[in-house]
Structure 1
């Protein structure tokens, strides 16, 4: 791993929070992700399942975590099953977790090799009444591939059909959405790496550069600061490309007078950052570009103030819509008739700002969180309004990552990343 080892107290705390929510005489099982094939002997880079990482810190394939807080045998209340490492694996792939290293990583004392899974599972399944299975119920999930977790669940339910089944996901949705201090520090680290990348870009961009060259500058800076990759597929959208919300081709030349929308974030230790900035190719905004930019910035700043404990996510978006409507009227993009005659299901402002303003962020860029429940302190949200004007050849979005505080305005983890027009122009022309 490129990242520095995380204090195992985080994972011990996370497990303790989870097990207190479990039913009596129940156990829960969590699997690593598969390594997915491409073709021949090629595979996609391994990405750990965020739930087993959240609860154990284990960041390798073919790992299983079992939690059984009421187990009569104390040593079986927390168990890791790992792929057995050996000298051959150490030479060809690098050493996998040893039992000792697994304890240092997770704080779990009982570690078995996977070859013992069937025997140990039989013993503990005879001692429990309910088994928690882990399903993906994220509101944006659209999974067509059968996962390792899916296959394990099939095997478990087939072998032990008389057990009651419960879901881990509702517990994890709530737990993962409220961050521990160590987690906030890790997200801050990801944001700090993103800042380094953005500052590098401000000195690199000029008319004639290509979008993919900008992408390359970002990943160069990310890798040299212990990030293994982009937190999500980067958007480097110059000119009218910015009006395609998920533009990821990044293959066009940046022309003088155009703007570039940069939706780019580094990961660190599997935690995400999520930044958007919009900058002028030539180093200066036109007056019209500046007016729209400052309107988006004003909405972002005012929307941020609303992210406080108790806020309802759906109502928050209604209020942000009112802010955006006011700015669009000022910019003469809407008139009063547009607003008076609007469809309440798709308000007039949606013509120019058609996506949501905020989402949970953490181990996943669109992190777990139950959107029908009020916001709480130590949740991390993005704030990302935008105005998109295809007829004028540009789109502007600005995005920061903020932590909700017990009182007062959120803590902006990206407060040091340049965002004001004057600061951006100064750095680009420095």
Structure 2
């Protein structure tokens, strides 16, 4: 791993929050992700399952975390299973965690080799009545591949049909959504790396540059700052490409007079950042580009101030829609008749701003977190309004990551990333 080891006190706190909500005589199991094949002997780079990472800090394939707060023997209340390392593995793949290192990373005293899992698990299942399965119930999930977790669940149901079943996901949605200070610091670090990438781009961008060259500049800056790279597939959309919300080809040339919408973010220690900026290719906004940009910025700033404890996520989006409607009327993109005749299920502003304004941020770019209950302090949200005008070959979105504070306005983790028009123009032309 490129990042500095995280203090295991974070993972101890995370486990304590999870086990406090477990039912009596229950076991919870968390599996690492598979390494996914591409073809022949090629594989995709390993990405750890965020739940086992959140609870243990172990960033290694073929790992299992077992939590059993009511185990008769205290040493079995937290167990980590890791792949046994040896000289052959060390030569070909690099050294894996030994038992002492696994304890140092996780704070878990009882560590077994993975080969011992079936025997230990069977013994502990004879003491338990309930097993927590870790299913993916994120509101945006769209998984077609059978995962390591899926295979474990199928085997467990077959081998232990007498056990009751519970779900870990509702607990994780609650506790992962509210960040510890250590997590906020890691997200801040990812945002700081993103800032370095953006400032690099402000000096590099000019007419004739290709979108993929910008992608390469970002990646270079991210990796040289100990990030693995992008937290998600980057969007570098010049001109009319900005009106394709998930444009990821990044293969067009940036032209004089166009804006480029850049939705990029660095990861650090598996924590994400999520930034969007829209800047002029030639370093100077036109009058119309400036008008639309300032409208988006006003909506972003006003929406940010709504993110306080007690805010309802669904109602928040309704209020942001009202702000956007006002701005679109001012820009001449909507008229009063459009608003009066709008479909309440798809308001008039949706023609130019069709996506949501905010989502949870953390270990996942679209992170776990409660959305049907009031917002709480230490939740981290994006704020990302946009206006998309295909007829004018212009799409503008602005996005920052903010922490909900117990009192006062949210804390902007991207406060140092230039966003005001004058500052952007000055930096691009200095």
Look up the SS of the partner of 2:299 in the other structure: helix
Aligned to 1:14: 14
Aligned to 1:34: 34
Residue 229 of structure 1 deviates from its aligned partner by 1.6
Aligned to 1:208: 208
| 1:236-251 alignment, distance < 5 Å | 236-251=236-251
After the TM superposition, which segments of 4 or more aligned residues of structure 1 sit over 4 Å from their partners? none
Aligned to 2:322: 322
Alpha-carbon distance between aligned partners in 2 of 1:64 and 1:171, rounded to the nearest angstrom: 19
Aligned to 2:291: 291
Residue 115 of structure 1 deviates from its aligned partner by 1.0
Query: TM-score by structure 1 length?
Result: 1.00
Alpha-carbon distance between aligned partners in 2 of 1:208 and 1:250, rounded to the nearest angstrom: 14
Alpha-carbon distance between aligned partners in 2 of 1:122 and 1:387, rounded to the nearest angstrom: 56
Aligned to 1:44: 44
Aligned to 1:376: 376
Look up the SS of the partner of 1:214 in the other structure: helix
Alpha-carbon distance between aligned partners in 2 of 1:330 and 1:79, rounded to the nearest angstrom: 60
Residue 220 of structure 1 deviates from its aligned partner by 0.2
**1:388 matched to 2:388:** yes
Alpha-carbon distance between aligned partners in 1 of 2:400 and 2:272, rounded to the nearest angstrom: 12
Equivalent pairs, count: 430
Aligned to 1:336: 336
Residue 69 of structure 1 deviates from its aligned partner by 0.5
Gaps of 5+ in 2: none
Aligned to 1:399: 399
Alpha-carbon distance between aligned partners in 2 of 1:342 and 1:250, rounded to the nearest angstrom: 35
Residue 336 of structure 1 deviates from its aligned partner by 0.5
| 1:71-86 alignment, distance < 5 Å | 71-86=71-86
Alpha-carbon distance between aligned partners in 1 of 2:141 and 2:336, rounded to the nearest angstrom: 38
Residue 114 of structure 1 deviates from its aligned partner by 1.1
1:142-182 CA deviation, whole Å, 9 max, x = no partner? Answer: 11000000001111111111011100000000000000000
Look up the SS of the partner of 2:84 in the other structure: coil
Query: TM-score by structure 2 length?
Result: 1.00
Residue 370 of structure 1 deviates from its aligned partner by 2.1
Look up the SS of the partner of 1:409 in the other structure: coil
1:217-268 CA deviation, whole Å, 9 max, x = no partner? Answer: 0000000001002000000000000000000000000000000000000000
Alpha-carbon distance between aligned partners in 2 of 1:288 and 1:175, rounded to the nearest angstrom: 44
Aligned to 1:65: 65
1:247-304 CA deviation, whole Å, 9 max, x = no partner? Answer: 0000000000000000000000000000000000000000000000000000000000
Look up the SS of the partner of 1:355 in the other structure: coil
> RMSD value over aligned CA atoms?
0.4
Look up the SS of the partner of 1:418 in the other structure: coil
